[in-house]
Amino acid sequence: MATNTESFEDTAITPASLREALGSFPTGVAVVTTLSDDGKPIGLTVNSFNSVSLEPALVLWSLALSSPSIGAFRKHRAFAVNILRKEQEDLCMKFARPADDKFTGVNWTDGYRGIPVLDGAMVTLECEMYQIVEGGDHEVYMGTVKRIHKTDSSPLVFHRGQLVQLAS
């Protein structure tokens, strides 16, 4: 073990120490969208997105149980994962706080079962809900990929609490 290693066990594993440890794992950033009961677009920034299976085509992400958007995701049972380009830091921040008007000034089109597909995302995966799994203070949403839109742009990256870009 490296000499500057800090170790934690059991009760010393607090939300803060866990968040810090997990933050060392760089991820992409996506805005996950769905539709509310009354047809309003819903969306939030996530970095919990990941691949699950190629055949069948399955992906997952997780949503905090405290999110006001939870009812819409549970009910509509379809979502789009809009993976952000390196230039879309503003969009990432806009969808990372609770607000009624997150979609104001954002261009999007109707996708699979009406879910919002954001214009200009690096890649969008339109999904049908496959399974909802309990996950502590989050709920894990696994989806079957129904449509893919992709570009060859470069991703926005989240690492140690910061938005960064890949070195070329």
What are the CA-CA distances from residue 153 to residues 87, 99, 142 (Å)?
10, 28, 26
Distance, in Å, from the CA atom of 164 to the CA atom of 25, rounded to the nearest integer, reads 13
Q: Does 48 help bind ligand FMN (rule: CB under 6 A)?
A: yes
Minimum CB distance to ligand FMN, residue 54 (Å): 22
Distance, in Å, from the CA atom of 41 to the CA atom of 82, rounded to the nearest integer, reads 14
Binders of ligand FMN among residues 20 to 39 (CB under 6 A) are 29
Q: Which residue is nearest to ligand FMN (CB)?
A: 48
Q: What values do phi and psi take at 48, rounded to 5?
A: -85, 0
Minimum CB distance to ligand FMN, residue 99 (Å): 7
Three-class secondary structure of residue 90 per DSSP? helix
Binders of ligand FMN among residues 110 to 149 (CB under 6 A) are none
Terminal Cα distance for the chain, rounded: 31
- Binding window for ligand FMN (CB under 6 A); candidates: 4-12, 15-23, 45-53, 147-155: 45-53
Q: Assign residue 68 a region: left if phi > 0, alpha if psi is -120 to 50, beta otherwise?
A: alpha
Q: Give the per-residue contact string, 64-93, with ligand FMN (x = CB under 6 A; - = no).
A: x--xxx------------------------
Q: Which of 98, 110, 131, 164 binds ligand FMN (CB under 6 A)?
A: 98
Q: Please report, as ranges, the residues that interact with ligand FMN according to CB under 6 A.
A: 29, 44-48, 61-64, 67-69, 96-98, 158
